[in-house]
Chain A
Amino acid sequence: MKLNLRIWRQKDAAAEGAIETFELDGVSPDMSFLEMLDILNEKLVGEGTDPVAFDHDCREGVCGSCGAVVNGQVHGPDTETTLCQLHMRRFRDGDTVQIEPWRSRAFPVIRDLVVDRTAFDRIQQAGGYVSVDTGSAPDANILPVPKPDAERAFDYAECIGCGGCVAACPNGAAMLFTAAKVAHLATLPQGKVERDARVLAMVTQMDEEGFGACTNHYECTAACPKGVPIDAIATMNREYLRATFLSKEGV
């Protein structure tokens, strides 16, 4: 098939960006979206034009590197699908496809479709862990965890940190990302010891990074390639309230 591609080009963080248009022929329905960009880039290099920069790595939907807004939709039209797992059979000959980077104050553009998501790492560093030094752990079976809790914790822990939730949110909020980690650890007994300090620190960091607030649009969970459930946010809010009232460490 033949596509009209409209792609955001931006040389670096300081440069002005703009949409550029490319025609691409010979797209096979079996290609992944990123393989379509690969053949575009092969063509561009042949013509002496700088290829389109985009982050990608595992190409099997789990590293969280890739992502773009395709025709206004985060990671494209399929539900629970990263950009690398989107296939061109979802498009038709002659389609126009607009491809843009994540848009968020907290995710500055590095080049073209590549953005800086280190804000997510800093939120995690603020408290997204259990403080257990290597070697100090007791036998793994000493603390039984109800199977439904373990399954629920996994649903939250499956977040790949792609940033799609932020890009999908009209407020640019990072609530689903932050809540996924808070809820994962709050659901397990191992995470309970530090639950108050964790939620307070992570929410504070989230706010400092310049992400917006949640006003219940649920766009985040709709866009999430791993289907992280929206109730994570309710859990985080509950944890936050609890910590605010109970924490000895204060807000």
Chain B
Amino acid sequence: MSTQNPILDSKCPTGDIETRWDRHRFDMKQVNPANKRKFHIIIVGTGLAGGSAAATLAELGYKVTSLCIQDSPRRAHSIAAQGGINAAKNYPNDGDSIYRLFYDTVKGGDFRARESNVYRLAQVSNNIIDQATAQGVPFAREYGGHLDNRSFGGAQVSRTFYARGATGQQLLLGAYAAMSRQIQLGKIDMRPRREMLDVVKVDGVARGVICRNMVTGEYERYAGDAVLLCTGGYGNVFYLSTNAKASNVTASWRAHKRGAYFANPCYTQIHPTCIPVSGDHQSKLTLMSESLRNDGRVWVPKKAGDSRAINDIPEEERDYYLERRYPAFGNLVPRDVASRASKERCDAGFGVGPGGKSVYLDFAEAIQRDGEDTVRAKYGNLFHMYEKITDENPYERPMRIYPAVHYTMGGLWVDYNLESTVPGLFVLGEANFSDHGANRLGASALMQGLSDGYFVIPYTVCGHLAGRNLQPVSTSDEAFAEAEASVRERTDALLAVNGSRTVDSFHRELGLTMWDHCGMARNKDGLQQAIDKIGSLREEFWNDVRVLGSNEEFNQSLEKAGRVADFLEFAETFAMDALDRSESCGGHFREESQTEEGEALRDDDNYCYAAAWEYQGPDGKAALHKEDLNFEYVKLAQRSYK
């Protein structure tokens, strides 16, 4: 690891923050309407970011090819987002503004995001609500027919728009519908069941991708003028997470190997309200929306190891520890704070349930106050899901919850234009690193994905298309042949090992190592151990993995093997980044750096930067590039939610 490298240029406009985005849009080169149809844009992923980008760029007249790993663009994992989407509409008249949303997001991210990006995000948040409503997204409404809001963590205003407990689904289906219209018009060429396995660069510029057709196994070449990666986060490096099973790091990692820097890989969001693990068979974890903390109260018994039944624990012997420690925000503290507080109680022996690995989320007071019907109307589908999984009725007894890996703030480094360090390669949504700093606030992921796709990329892609004098390329270019050959070689190697262990067994082992050493608390020795373990596990994988079947068929084991192989490389960079950042910030908690009260203690003198890693070969070799973060508007301060 070397640290003597150029500092990255974010290309952020300077001056008055309120006019930065307007001035930037004016200064950027434009593509005239007739020329737009000459440009071909390849978009990988069809979640909120990829779906909204595909629809919008096609509406503008570009030729779009859209690729997704699922059998339909409607199934991308954005669909599972439950609680809501933030916007600074201030409909409730409770003091919200663009500036307040900006301020809360920068503070919530523990001062590790770019002010310019976050301000732009807050500015366009309102347009997203307008757009989605016009598409027919059935947001919750008041009796007067106007849109309803609720509260989420890290904010003292109600700015979250929602559609029962399925806001992500409804917003995604809105973007999918907009895409469908463009597919029908012939503007989007939609290719489902395709996995992107490489980025193709011609003369240093991203000009295409190599995909595997997951039904036939054929390798396909796609050439264009810009490539947009909208491929989500990498939480599945932990094996157990709330991510969908197909969520993976492969597209980002292969782009990284082609020159795109990976920023802040260690920034992981561990969400406080998830259903606890029930056994070794567990294949994924299920989130219970943060919106539940509007009415649910988190507690553990005051006595360690208290094994009494819930009803036998009198009120005065219950410790509502979030309300006790953070009276100003109570149960609605940000996710990183709530998760660490749960871990602290459980580690100290106060946890409940099997192995003492959970805390209560109790609705008794809300049910008594508002009635069961009101609670059912707000959270019915979440309660239903909880009961399905645990066989316990949350109307009668508190839910048991424990933190789980949920979202990754890190991702490919992008500048203000969302362009990576590979010219022509743009990265949108969770796949990039730009807006959430070291901790994402609830209901901000949907906002960012749709902001990037609907309202940012349509402007910023023009700078690349109009400014770079792109020459035509075809898939017969030798760069495509070289990329395809390297992808083929990797697949053949996986099939040739023919060892004794299944892909899943490696993935589970990697996940355990990550959870133990790179989870909610990290320290120098543990991270060093993790790096050693990941290296030896990777070696064992390539010597002993068993992948049956051939490439030329529908082969889910082979798909998984390719993804786990990439996770095994990526994990080392993740751990190295966590080791390098010896401060605590947001979701990254280094035990060596905490306040007397056990809160994350930043070290602004030494770590007020985004860490962007450049790939320098296998075995975790990487060079660190720093982007200094400047805070001109929100003053650097120790976060407090007390």
Complex: A195 Cα to B403 Cα, angstroms: 45
**Per-residue 0/1 for A134-148: is the Cβ within 8 Å of any B Cβ (1 yes, 0 no)?**
111111110111110
Tell me whether A87 is interfacial, beta carbon within 8 Å: yes
Q: Which residue of A lies closest to B89 (CB)?
A: A140
Cβ contact within 8 Å between A134 and B52: yes
Complex: A110 Cα to B245 Cα, angstroms: 20
Tell me whether B74 is interfacial, beta carbon within 8 Å: yes
B181 to chain A, nearest CB (A): 5
Question: With contacts A126-B184, A145-B145, A154-B164 known, is A61 near B385, CB below 8 A?
Answer: yes
Tell me whether B489 is interfacial, beta carbon within 8 Å: no
Tell me whether A242 is interfacial, beta carbon within 8 Å: no
Complex: A124 Cα to B136 Cα, angstroms: 14
Which residues of A are found within 8 Å of B136, using beta-carbon distances?
130, 153, 157, 184-185, 188, 190-191
B150 to chain A, nearest CB (A): 15
Cβ contact within 8 Å between B130 and A137: yes
A58 to chain B, nearest CB (A): 5
Select the stretch in B282-290, B314-322, B438-446 that faces chain A. Answer: B282-290
Which residues of A are found within 8 Å of B190, using beta-carbon distances?
121
Within 8 A of A (CB), among B485-505: 502, 504-505
Complex: A116 Cα to B284 Cα, angstroms: 25
Select the stretch in B14-22, B550-558, B562-570, B622-630 that faces chain A. Answer: B550-558
Cβ contact within 8 Å between A46 and B502: yes
Cβ contact within 8 Å between B89 and A158: no
Complex: A110 Cα to B56 Cα, angstroms: 32
Question: With contacts A59-B284, A129-B180, A135-B127 known, is A141 near B135, CB below 8 A?
Answer: no
Cβ contact within 8 Å between A62 and B166: yes
Within 8 A of B (CB), among A141-187: 141, 143-147, 150-151, 153-154, 157-158, 160-161, 184-185
Question: With contacts A31-B281, A45-B548, A57-B245 known, is A158 near B385, CB below 8 A?
Answer: no
Complex: A157 Cα to B278 Cα, angstroms: 32
Cβ contact within 8 Å between A65 and B391: no
Picked from B138, B245, B502, the residue with its CB within 8 Å of the CB of A153 is: B138
Tell me whether B595 is interfacial, beta carbon within 8 Å: no
Cβ contact within 8 Å between A58 and B77: yes
Which residues of B are found within 8 Å of A81, using beta-carbon distances?
388
Complex: A71 Cα to B123 Cα, angstroms: 53
Cβ contact within 8 Å between B134 and A132: yes
Tell me whether B158 is interfacial, beta carbon within 8 Å: no
Complex: A140 Cα to B126 Cα, angstroms: 9
Cβ contact within 8 Å between B192 and A118: yes
Within 8 A of A (CB), among B224-258: 242, 244-246
Most buried by A among B75, B170, B246, B279: B75
Cβ contact within 8 Å between B385 and A60: yes
Complex: A46 Cα to B503 Cα, angstroms: 11
Which residues of A are found within 8 Å of B145, using beta-carbon distances?
144-147
Select the stretch in A1-9, A48-56, A211-219 that faces chain B. Answer: A48-56
Tell me whether A32 is interfacial, beta carbon within 8 Å: yes
Tell me whether B356 is interfacial, beta carbon within 8 Å: no
Complex: A28 Cα to B279 Cα, angstroms: 9
Tell me whether A69 is interfacial, beta carbon within 8 Å: no
Which residues of A are found within 8 Å of B375, using beta-carbon distances?
none
Cβ contact within 8 Å between B245 and A59: yes
Tell me whether B141 is interfacial, beta carbon within 8 Å: yes
Within 8 A of A (CB), among B121-168: 127, 129-147, 163-164, 166
B573 to chain A, nearest CB (A): 26
Cβ contact within 8 Å between B133 and A51: no
Tell me whether A103 is interfacial, beta carbon within 8 Å: no
Which residues of B are found within 8 Å of A63, using beta-carbon distances?
70, 75, 77, 79-80, 244
Picked from B141, B181, B245, the residue with its CB within 8 Å of the CB of A145 is: B141
Picked from B55, B74, B79, B278, the residue with its CB within 8 Å of the CB of A121 is: B74
Complex: A48 Cα to B190 Cα, angstroms: 36
Question: With contacts A110-B215, A125-B183 known, is A62 near B80, CB below 8 A?
Answer: yes
Tell me whether B177 is interfacial, beta carbon within 8 Å: yes
Tell me whether A102 is interfacial, beta carbon within 8 Å: no
Cβ contact within 8 Å between A158 and B286: no
Complex: A128 Cα to B556 Cα, angstroms: 31
Number of interface residues of B (CB under 8 A): 81
Within 8 A of B (CB), among A1-50: 11-12, 28, 30-32, 34-35, 38-39, 42, 45-46, 48-50
Which residues of A are found within 8 Å of B633, using beta-carbon distances?
none
Which residues of A are found within 8 Å of B406, using beta-carbon distances?
none
Picked from B138, B139, B180, the residue with its CB within 8 Å of the CB of A184 is: B138
Cβ contact within 8 Å between B177 and A65: no
Tell me whether A105 is interfacial, beta carbon within 8 Å: no
Picked from B75, B91, B131, B389, the residue with its CB within 8 Å of the CB of A141 is: B91
**Per-residue 0/1 for A206-231: is the Cβ within 8 Å of any B Cβ (1 yes, 0 no)?**
00000000000000000000000000
Q: Which residue of A lies closest to B547 (CB)?
A: A45
Question: With contacts A144-B146, A190-B134 known, is A118 near B244, CB below 8 A?
Answer: no
Tell me whether B72 is interfacial, beta carbon within 8 Å: yes
Which residues of A are found within 8 Å of B95, using beta-carbon distances?
none
Complex: A141 Cα to B91 Cα, angstroms: 9
Within 8 A of A (CB), among B68-114: 70-75, 77, 79-80, 89, 91
Q: Which residue of A lies closest to B87 (CB)?
A: A140
Complex: A233 Cα to B130 Cα, angstroms: 29
Tell me whether A92 is interfacial, beta carbon within 8 Å: no
Tell me whether B470 is interfacial, beta carbon within 8 Å: no
Cβ contact within 8 Å between B70 and A65: yes
Complex: A39 Cα to B504 Cα, angstroms: 10
Tell me whether A89 is interfacial, beta carbon within 8 Å: yes
Tell me whether A104 is interfacial, beta carbon within 8 Å: no
Cβ contact within 8 Å between A12 and B554: yes
Tell me whether B454 is interfacial, beta carbon within 8 Å: yes
Cβ contact within 8 Å between B282 and A35: yes
Picked from A35, A130, A158, A190, the residue with its CB within 8 Å of the CB of B169 is: A158
Cβ contact within 8 Å between B502 and A129: no
Q: Which residue of B lies closest to A141 (CB)?
A: B146
Which residues of A are found within 8 Å of B141, using beta-carbon distances?
144-147, 150
Tell me whether B360 is interfacial, beta carbon within 8 Å: no
Cβ contact within 8 Å between A45 and B173: no
Question: With contacts A85-B389, A117-B71 known, is A137 near B554, CB below 8 A?
Answer: no
Cβ contact within 8 Å between A124 and B147: no
Q: Which residue of A lies closest to B214 (CB)?
A: A110
Most buried by B among A38, A111, A145: A145
Q: Which residue of A lies closest to B498 (CB)?
A: A48
Tell me whether A114 is interfacial, beta carbon within 8 Å: yes
Q: Which residue of A lies closest to B278 (CB)?
A: A30
Complex: A61 Cα to B389 Cα, angstroms: 11
Which residues of A are found within 8 Å of B327, using beta-carbon distances?
none
Which residues of B approach A to under 8 Å, CB–CB?
52, 55-56, 59, 70-75, 77, 79-80, 89, 91, 127, 129-147, 163-164, 166, 169-170, 173, 176-178, 180-181, 183-184, 190, 192, 215, 242, 244-246, 278-279, 281-284, 286-287, 384-385, 388-389, 391, 454-455, 458, 502, 504-505, 546, 548-549, 553-554, 556-557
Q: Can you list 15 A-B contacts (CB < 8 A)?
A: A11-B553, A45-B502, A46-B546, A59-B286, A60-B284, A65-B71, A85-B388, A118-B72, A121-B192, A133-B59, A134-B178, A144-B146, A146-B145, A154-B163, A157-B137
Extra A-B contacts (4), CB below 8 Å, given A58-B75, A58-B244: A65-B75, A151-B138, A157-B138, A161-B72
Going nearest first, the 3 A-B pairs with the smallest beta carbon separation are A144-B145, A137-B134, A129-B177
